[in-house]
Amino acid sequence: MSQLKKFSLFLAPLVLFSLLPVLATAQDNMGNSQSMSVTGCVKQGSDMHGYYLMGQDGKMYELMGKGLSEHVGHTVTVTGTQMAMSDDMEKKKMASEKTEANGATVVDMKVSSVKMVSSSCQ
């Protein structure tokens, strides 16, 4: 058997075993994207295109999606999925989120739909 064949027979299982943890992690992350709905008042964030709402559960939801600007000052129910941000993105947003959250837990949410409950915040 040639040296190249021996090397490839050794290398193939090594590559496969080194990729298994990566594949398992990717599968775990896909299972965490359950849909959720939150009701609250949409507010303009510190960032130009940033929006958030304080949910009735006491958490602050940092909203990312289309059509949010037209609902600033409205009570809405948003539906979407929780997003995991990279460490760099979290560090960039951390200062403004702390100010806006006023001590509440912050959840980053990708919005898929918005339903207006009231044209004002109560």
pLDDT band for 41, please (50, 70, 90 cuts): very high
Q: Residue 34: its pLDDT value, please?
A: 85
CATH 2.40.50.500 fits 35-118, yes or no: yes
User: What is the pLDDT at residue 29?
Assistant: 46
> Does the pLDDT at position 87 exceed 60?
yes
**Which residues are CB-neighbours of 50 under 8 A, at least 6 positions away?**
44, 62, 96
Tell me the average pLDDT across 86-112. Answer: 70
C-alpha–C-alpha distance, residues 112 and 28, integer Å: 22
Phi, psi for residue 53 in degrees, rounded to 5 = -145, 150
Q: Are 65 and 79 in contact (CB under 8 A)?
A: no
Provide the pLDDT for residue 27: 44
β-pairing, 60-64 vs 51-55, is antiparallel
**Least confident piece of the model among 71-75, 86-90, 109-113, 115-119:** 86-90
Q: What is the pLDDT of residue 93?
A: 57
Q: Taking the domains of the chain in order of start, what are their residue ranges?
A: 1-31, 35-118
pTM: 0.62
Residue 48 pLDDT? 75
Mean pLDDT for the chain? 76
CA–CA distance, 58 with 66 (Å, rounded to integer) = 24
